[in-house]
């Protein structure tokens, strides 16, 4: 009798194995056959405020597309949603809200500012800078926000001298706090860590700073200490920033720090309740693989599927180059592919993380020339980052 049960046991074991498999894999397109009118087919992304208001705004705008106030209100809402959910579709919708002014020369100031911000979000950095320059060439009141955005765009492109020039203009336009922080940020990137640390400390010493500003400054301190190789100070700053005002950007930043510190379990815990944007899912997958966590396979599979879907567009590797390089390196261990992606990515954006990924991929590839190339890019930018120095 016991012998005869064997085949069924086999069947049972394989059935249970299938359970895990079924949970872990999803398919690209499966037909839906609804059985009742109440069956929910799809859940729309969250909106801030009421859906009825959002829809009314959209309808009003459709009737008066030339109404700049309406267009900007709608665009602002969509952009906030794009930031909050990490969902690029909303950036596209924001662009369409201000589509009534295709010509930069005749567009209102606020529309140009919005367009530049959206272009920045969509990683069209040169286009964003061009839009800002059109705006800044106009006569009229000082425009600190436009200068600050230009400084940010140039910094992301790794053009620190141009960013510095824009920071100085932020100060001339009257926003002294932002100008100081802007300059300190560049100083820190260029290796003048002492001066940057002192500036941030002075700005934070002012008790009148609102929490959001303090959080922003504290995040800058955390990044600075991380690049300076002072992990304990970086950690303290990250925690302080998140305690002041938790935001998706700092959370991701802190997760990357934890992953770099080989503390994947804490990274996973940190990301647990976050909206599963591509950036968040990528970190979940990397930390999961690092920690050998049981959920890693599912996250890896989902991220892989998202990358495959995104790559149906030829320009996807440009927009997602950093994320795809990180995935290739940390999950697939495919150094060659990671290197190609990281190289393509730094043509576009050159934040410290982009250069770090390039250096890691170059090191993993074992090619001496790749390491030299990476070092040349870092030196040409004037970026000083202990983490990168340790690799190159």
Partner 1 sequence: MRRAVTAALRAICCLALLGLGSNVQAHKASDSYLQIDAGDKGTTLRWDIALRDLDAAIDIDANEDGRLTWGEVKAAWPRIEAYALPRLAIAGCALRPTGHALERRNDGAYAVLMLTSDCVLAPTPAIDYTLFREVDPTHRGIARLQRAGQPPTLLMLDPTHAIITPTATASAAPPEASAPNGALGFLREGVRHILTGYDHVLFLLCLLLPSVMRRTPEGWRPVDSLSQAVWPVIGIVSAFTVAHSITLGLAALKIVALPSAFIEPAIAVTIILAALDNVWPILPVRRVVVTFCFGLIHGFGFAGVLAELNLPTSEFVRALLEFNIGLELGQLMIVVGVTALLFVLRQWPRYRPLVIRGGSYAAIVVGLLWLIERTANVSILPM
Specify the stretch interacting with partner 1 by CB under 8 A; choose among 6-14, 69-77, 323-331, 356-364: 6-14
Query: What's the longest Cα–Cα distance across the chain?
Result: 94
Q: Which of 167, 178, 235 is nearest to 212 (CA)?
A: 178
Q: Which of 81, 119, 251, 277 binds partner 1 (CB under 8 A)?
A: 277
**Closest separation in Å from C-beta 27 to partner 1:** 8
Specify the stretch interacting with partner 1 by CB under 8 A; choose among 12-20, 223-231, 326-334, 373-381: 12-20
CA–CA dist 357, 301 (Å, integer): 22
**Closest separation in Å from C-beta 201 to partner 1:** 37
Q: How many residues bind partner 1 (CB under 8 A)?
A: 71
Q: Which is nearer to partner 1, 100 or 136 (CB)?
A: 100
Q: Which residues in 13-42 contact partner 1 (CB under 8 A)?
A: 14-19, 21-23, 25-42
Q: Which residues in 137-196 contact partner 1 (CB under 8 A)?
A: none
| Contact present, 378 and 158 (Cβ < 8 Å) | no
Q: Which of 138, 172, 195, 313 binds partner 1 (CB under 8 A)?
A: 313
Q: Does 368 participate in binding partner 1 (rule CB under 8 A)?
A: no
> Please, what is the Cα angle at 301 between 311 and 293, to 5 degrees?
140
Residue 131 neighbours by CB under 8 Å, 6+ apart? 104, 112, 115, 116, 119
Q: Does 3 participate in binding partner 1 (rule CB under 8 A)?
A: yes
Q: Which of 77, 87, 36, 85 is nearest to 57 (CA)?
A: 77
Q: Which residues in 81-100 contact partner 1 (CB under 8 A)?
A: 85-89, 91-93, 95-96, 99
What are the Cα distances from residue 377, in Å, to 253, 321, 351, 352, 372?
Answer: 23, 17, 12, 12, 9
Q: 């959001």: which residue's tokens?
A: 212
Q: Which is nearer to partner 1, 51 or 172 (CB)?
A: 51
Q: Which of 76, 276, 336, 337 binds partner 1 (CB under 8 A)?
A: 276
Q: Which of 69, 309, 347, 380 binds partner 1 (CB under 8 A)?
A: 309
Q: Which of 80, 108, 110, 122 binds partner 1 (CB under 8 A)?
A: 122
CA–CA dist 100, 82 (Å, integer): 21
Specify the stretch interacting with partner 1 by CB under 8 A; choose among 66-74, 205-213, 308-316, 342-350: 308-316
Query: How long is the chain?
Result: 392
CA–CA dist 238, 228 (Å, integer): 14
**Closest separation in Å from C-beta 14 to partner 1:** 6
CA–CA dist 373, 356 (Å, integer): 13
Q: Does 116 participate in binding partner 1 (rule CB under 8 A)?
A: no
Please give the helix or strand (H or E) that residue 148 lies within, else none. helix 144-156
């Amino acid at each position: 009798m016991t012998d005869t049960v064997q085949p069924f046991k086999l069947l049972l074991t394989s059935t249970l194995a299938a359970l895990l498999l079924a949970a872990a894999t999803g398919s690209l397109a499966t037909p839906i056959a609804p059985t009742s009118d109440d069956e929910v087919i799809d859940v729309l992304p969250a909106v801030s405020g009421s859906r009825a208001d959002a829809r009314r705004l959209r309808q009003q705008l459709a009737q008066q597309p030339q109404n700049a106030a309406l267009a900007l209100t709608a665009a602002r809402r969509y952009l906030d949603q794009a930031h909050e959910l990490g969902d690029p579709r909303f950036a596209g919708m924001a662009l369409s809200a201000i589509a009534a002014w295709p010509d930069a020369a005749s567009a209102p100031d606020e529309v140009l500012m919005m367009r530049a911000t959206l272009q920045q979000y969509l990683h069209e950095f040169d286009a964003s800078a061009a839009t800002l320059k059109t705006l800044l060439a106009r006569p009229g009141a000082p425009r600190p926000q436009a200068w600050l955005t230009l400084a940010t765009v140039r910094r992301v492109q790794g053009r620190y001298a141009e960013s510095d020039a824009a920071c100085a203009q932020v100060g001339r336009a009257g926003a002294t706090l932002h100008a100081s922080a802007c300059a300190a940020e560049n100083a820190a990137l260029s290796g003048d860590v002492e001066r940057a640390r002192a500036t941030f400390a002075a700005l934070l010493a002012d008790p009148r700073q609102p929490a959001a500003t303090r959080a922003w400054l504290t995040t800058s301190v955390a990044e600075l200490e991380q690049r300076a190789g002072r992990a304990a100070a970086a950690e303290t700053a990250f925690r302080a920033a998140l305690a002041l005002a938790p935001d998706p950007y700092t959370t991701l930043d802190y997760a990357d720090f934890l992953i770099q510190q080989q503390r994947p379990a804490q990274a996973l815990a940190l990301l647990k309740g976050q909206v599963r944007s591509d950036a968040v899912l990528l970190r979940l997958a990397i930390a999961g693989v690092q920690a050998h966590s049981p959920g890693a396979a599912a996250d890896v599979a989902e991220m892989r599927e998202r990358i495959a879907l995104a790559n149906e567009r030829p320009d996807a590797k440009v927009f997602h180059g950093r994320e795809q390089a990180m995935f290739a390196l940390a999950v697939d261990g495919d150094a060659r592919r990671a290197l190609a992606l990281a190289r393509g990515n730094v043509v576009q954006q050159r934040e410290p993380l982009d250069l770090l990924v390039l250096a890691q991929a170059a090191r993993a590839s074992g090619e001496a020339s790749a390491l030299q190339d990476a070092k040349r890019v870092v030196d040409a930018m004037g970026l000083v980052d202990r983490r990168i120095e340790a690799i190159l």
